[in-house]
Amino acid sequence: MRQSVLIVGNFLSATPNSRSVCEELAERLALGGWSVITTSDKPGRVVRLLDMLRTAWGRRHEYAVAQVDVYSGRAFIWAEATCRVLRQAGKPYVLTLHGGNLPAFARRWPGRVRRLLRSAAVVTTPSGYLQEQMREYRSDLYLLPNPLEIGAYPFRLRDRPRPRLVWLRAFHRIYNPPLAARTIALLQERFPDIHLTMVGPDKGDGSLQSLKQAASELGVDGRIDLPGGVAKADVPQWLNKGDIFLNTTNFDNMPVSVMEAMACGLCVVSTSVGGVPYLLTHEEDALLVPPDDAEAMAYAVERVLTEPDLAGRLSEKARARVT
What does the pLDDT look like over 60-90, one tens digit per residue? 999 999 999 999 999 999 999 999 999 999 9
Amino acid 14: pLDDT: 55
Taking CA 142 as the corner, what is the angle to CA 140 and CA 147, rounded to the nearest 5 degrees?
A: 170
196 and 251 co-located in one domain: yes
237 and 95 co-located in one domain: no
39 and 162 co-located in one domain: no
9 and 120 co-located in one domain: yes
Amino acid 267: pLDDT: 99
Query: Counting beta carbons within 10 angstroms of the beta carbon of residue 57, is it exposed (0 to 12), middle (13 to 18) or buried (19 or more)?
Result: middle
pTM exceeds 0.85, yes or no = yes
168 and 296 co-located in one domain: yes
Total domains in the chain come to 2
Beta strands in the chain, from DSSP E residues, in sequence order: 4-8, 35-39, 65-70, 93-97, 122-125, 141-143, 164-168, 195-199, 224-228, 244-247, 267-271, 287-289
Domain that holds residue 60: 4-143
109 and 217 co-located in one domain: no
Amino acid 17: pLDDT: 46
Taking CA 85 as the corner, what is the angle to CA 121 and CA 75, rounded to the nearest 5 degrees?
A: 85
182 and 80 co-located in one domain: no
**pLDDT < 70: residue spans in the chain:** 1, 13-19
32 and 173 co-located in one domain: no
CATH number of the domain within which 89 lies: 3.40.50.2000
213 and 276 co-located in one domain: yes
163 and 305 co-located in one domain: yes
123 and 185 co-located in one domain: no
Amino acid 19: pLDDT: 67
130 and 162 co-located in one domain: no
